[in-house]
Amino acid sequence: MSQQAFEKANQLQAEIEAANPASIEELEQFRIKYLGSKGMLRGLFGEIKTVDNDRKREFGQLINAIKESSETKFRSLLDGLEAKADTGKGDLDLSAPGEPFPIGSRHPVSILMNRIVEIFERIGFVVAEDREIEDDWHNFTAMNTPADHPARDMQDTFYLMNDPAMLLRTHTSSVQSRVMTSQKPPIRIIAPGRVYRNETISARSHCQFHQVEGLYVDENVSFADMKQTLYYFARELYGDTKIRLRPSYFPFTEPSAEMDVYWGLKDEIDHKITKGTGWLEVLGCGMVDPEVLENCGIDSKKYTGFAFGMGIDRQAMLKYRISDIRYLFENDVRFLKQFSSAI
């Protein structure tokens, strides 16, 4: 009698070892057939009663071993098949190619501002950045524009409601007074940044825009130095062109000038770009007024300097053929994406 039960057990063991379910469904059939509550292993436990007493213990150990190895086999098959079904859904595959990482785009104003800064850095100017919420003194008074000065009307100012001595800077010239009150000459800075003026928003003007300011203070700095520096700049940015300086007025420079770059009439279809003159107004500049140097604690008998300031947004519009300044501030990705390849 015992012999038969042992043979059954060995046969079942061989059968289970040979089974090779290839899918989750086949594995489930395997489980039901061998491990289920009505499965063949259960049946084998029923055979115990047919085994002779002196071999019961041996038989019990055998079928327990079969049961354990069957369960182990089931679990490892299940793990394998589930992992297969899951491929790409969380299993870490170190050999898989990386997910493409979308590269953002640079704003056209940043592109141009970075280029301008880089052009001046090449000849020894260093970047200076300062606050946008500024006090009246640094923005106006130090820059030779006291409270009753008519030039204040040229720059409609946003004052802070709870503190009228504070304002949103109307130009990056405020960085000049910040730097001159905290550093000793030689000073050679380039200051990019955002500025604000209380102007009606239209296709051509906005209440916020961008400027780049330059300042050079040292012994024996001359108007000729300024002209040559600006000529170098114009050629680096606009290519093989010429410049002209027209006399102008700014409270913080004496003498003052405006610089035009020759653009030509080639794009002058609607006479909007250069108003039919071929010349593009690019920046304001001049020799730093001795009054400004003194206001900032710099000896105007020993030092002289030149300064310049330019708007970025109009130049960016021209360069990248943007028809409406408001696009620059709307952050519409359809607009911004067009500049993704530019650095």
Which one of residues 308, 312, 316, 322 is an interface residue with ligand DAH (CB under 6 A)?
308
CA dihedral sign, ordered 56, 58, 60, 66:
negative
Tell whether residue 253 is a contact of ligand DAH (CB under 6 A): yes
Here the tokens at position 319 are 């360069």
CB 70 within 8 A of CB 16: yes
CB 298 within 8 A of CB 217: yes
Per DSSP, the three-state class of 75 is helix
Size of the site for ligand DAH (CB under 6 A): 11
Of 51-59, 112-120, 265-273, 306-314, the segment contacting ligand DAH by CB under 6 A is 306-314
Closer CB to ligand DAH, 73 or 197, in the complex: 197
Q: Map the footprint of ligand DAH across residues 261-300, applying CB under 6 A.
A: 284-286
The closest of 111, 76, 27 to 339, measured between CA atoms, is 111
158 dihedral zone (left: phi>0; alpha: psi -120 to 50; beta): beta
Which helix (H) or strand (E) segment holds residue 25: the answer is helix 24-30
**Smallest gap from residue 146 Cβ to ligand DAH (A):** 16
Tell whether residue 250 is a contact of ligand DAH (CB under 6 A): yes
Closer CB to ligand DAH, 44 or 168, in the complex: 168
Tell whether residue 185 is a contact of ligand DAH (CB under 6 A): no
Of 32-40, 103-111, 180-188, 304-312, the segment contacting ligand DAH by CB under 6 A is 304-312
Here the tokens at position 73 are 């086999």
Closer CB to ligand DAH, 138 or 171, in the complex: 171
Which one of residues 307, 312, 317, 325 is an interface residue with ligand DAH (CB under 6 A)?
307
Max CA pair span of the chain = 124
CB 110 within 8 A of CB 328: no
Q: Map the footprint of ligand DAH across residues 201-220, applying CB under 6 A.
A: 213
Per DSSP, the three-state class of 47 is helix
Closer CB to ligand DAH, 167 or 307, in the complex: 307
Summarize as ranges the residues that interact with ligand DAH (CB under 6 A): 171, 173, 213, 250, 253, 284-286, 307-309
